[in-house]
A = this chain, B = another copy of it.
Amino acid sequence: MKLYDAPGAPSPRRVRIYLAEKGIDIPRETVDLRSGEQLSDAYLHINPRGAVPALELDDGEIICESAAICRYFEAEHPKPPLFGTTPLEIARIESWTRRIENDGYAAVAYVLRNSVPVFAGRAESGKWPHLPQIPELATRGGIMWSAFIEAFDDHLAEHAWVANDAYSFADITALVTVDFALRAKLELPGDAAHVRRWHAEASARPSAAA
């Protein structure tokens, strides 16, 4: 088993934080995104999607998608549970994970992929035909980011962690998303005092350094 990993990118970090929270250690191989190694013939032979992270199983099967990789390990090592155990916990974690991805993470990706020169012609993650950047989509991403953070701050005013009383995969998703946004020079609009409180606590966990 081997994890194809990349420092600095948000999706592989989601898996690294998850594994650190679970205390799972597996071999990793770094893919150099700066040189475009994820789109090299050698890597596309391993993972035709041209994306990291990817989990290679011992028989060579590749599991793509950070959430799928984490769920693989959750089924192998259920404790401590990071996807919930009761129906309500499970539903809340999935609901917030999706909301953070669709409203927050997508907003940051809109901005970054459609404005940073290195992504010219590669405006969506993974292997695609030539996809030109769309400046108006970066603008849309900025609007969405502000609206998402405002709603997220309201939620965190009344909740210690994102989905339930305990830290979960939804917190991992949110931490990766907020740090991705800060790296992309997006701000936490207004006070966002509750997001800042939550972010400090999530960042203080040893797993955040993974």
Query: A residues bordering B, Cβ < 8 Å?
Result: 48-49, 55, 57, 61, 63-65, 67-69, 71-73, 75-76, 86-88, 90-92, 94-95, 98-99, 103, 123-124, 126, 128-129, 131-132, 134, 136-137, 140, 143-144, 147, 151
**Could you say which residues of chain B place their CB within 8 Å of the CB of A95?**
63-65, 68
**Could you say which residues of chain B place their CB within 8 Å of the CB of A64?**
95, 98-99
11 A-B contacts, Cβ less than 8 Å apart? A57-B88, A67-B94, A68-B98, A72-B91, A73-B87, A75-B86, A75-B91, A128-B144, A132-B136, A134-B136, A136-B136
Q: Are B123 and A94 in contact (CB under 8 A)?
A: no
- Copies per complex of this chain: 2
**Neighbour of A65 across the interface among B69, B94, B123, CB < 8 A:** B94
Q: How far is the CA of A65 from the CA of B151 in the complex (A)?
A: 16
**Neighbour of A90 across the interface among B72, B126, B131, CB < 8 A:** B72
**Could you say which residues of chain B place their CB within 8 Å of the CB of A76?**
87
Q: How far is the CA of A91 from the CA of B1 in the complex (A)?
A: 14
Q: How far is the CA of A134 from the CA of B64 in the complex (A)?
A: 30
Nearest chain-B residue to A127 (Cβ)? B147
Q: How far is the CA of A202 from the CA of B68 in the complex (A)?
A: 23
**Could you say which residues of chain B place their CB within 8 Å of the CB of A92?**
63, 68
Nearest chain-B residue to A86 (Cβ)? B75
Q: How far is the CA of A94 from the CA of B124 in the complex (A)?
A: 20
**Could you say which residues of chain B place their CB within 8 Å of the CB of A137?**
134, 136-137
Nearest chain-B residue to A98 (Cβ)? B65
**Could you say which residues of chain B place their CB within 8 Å of the CB of A136?**
132, 134, 136-137
Nearest chain-B residue to A69 (Cβ)? B91
Q: Are A87 and B75 in contact (CB under 8 A)?
A: yes
